[in-house]
Amino acid sequence: MGPSVSVAVIGAGVAGLCAARELKSERHRVVLFEKANCIGGTWAYDPRVESDPLSLDPDREIVHGSLYRSLRTNLPRQLMGFSDYPFVKRQNGDPRTFPGHEEVLRFLNEFATEFGLVELGRFNTEVVRVARVGTRSDEWLVESKTRGSDSVSREVFEAVVVCAGNFVEPEIAPVEGE
């Protein structure tokens, strides 16, 4: 195992949790940034909807949520687990092979708790900028804002893993004549 480095992981969804776990298991110093108030990424249900679903208004409130209340997985739970942490049926959980989003979020919370990832998290913290420090390739400046604060925090990390997903802003195809 090489030397321990400081790593910023941006996003506490499935990919961010996996990255954080693997980095932590290699004894790296991990900070897990998450804009929402909980882990889960796309699996964290939010009943709010945006006032501008096409994202044309740059001043709109962005509601991070791409699922609906009755959503179920489109993969069987046996394929959604990890090789060393299967997504098994839990007592008092959703017993279906294609469970609802609540069961997926419960699974991710259990995963994060079991591997000590929750305490790595900075929740309600949005990363607003990542940049190299000067010409160095081993130092990255991460700027973040905590919800409700106007101040920007700046920290230097030796590595950054971006797991922020791609479901926040809709893709709008250009339509000729529109």
Q: Mind listing the pLDDT tens digit for each residue in 32-42? A: 999 999 999 98
Q: Does residue 170 register a pLDDT over 90?
A: no
> What is the C-alpha radius of gyration for the chain, rounded to an integer number of angstroms?
18
> Percent of the chain scored above 70 by pLDDT?
93
* pLDDT score at 57: 85
Reading the block at residue 11, the tokens are: 């996003």
Full set of structural domains in the chain with CATH: 6-162 (3.50.50.60)
Q: Which residues pair with 155 in a beta bridge?
A: 142
Q: Are 7 and 28 in contact (CB under 8 A)?
A: yes
Q: Give the closest residue to 166 by CA, choosing from 70, 10, 14, 42.
A: 42
Q: Indicate if the pLDDT at residue 119 is higher than 60.
A: yes
Name residue, tokens 């949520």. 65
Residue 60: band (very low, low, confident or very high) from pLDDT cuts 50, 70, 90: confident
pLDDT at 24: 97
Quote the pLDDT of residue 105. 95
Q: What is the pLDDT of residue 161?
A: 95
pLDDT reported for residue 127: 95
Those residues whose C-beta lies under 8 Å from the C-beta of residue 61, and which sit 6 or more positions away, are 50, 51
Mean pLDDT of the chain: 89
Which pLDDT score, from 0 to 100, does residue 178 have?
Answer: 62
> How far apart (Å, rounded) are the C-alpha atoms in residues 71 and 101?
6
Overall average pLDDT of the 21-43 stretch = 95
The 3-state DSSP composition of the chain as helix, strand, coil percent (nearest 5) reads 20, 20, 55
Asked whether the predicted pLDDT for residue 173 surpasses 90, the reply is no
Q: Mind listing the pLDDT tens digit for each residue in 123-161?
A: 999 999 999 998 877 899 999 999 999 899 999 999 999
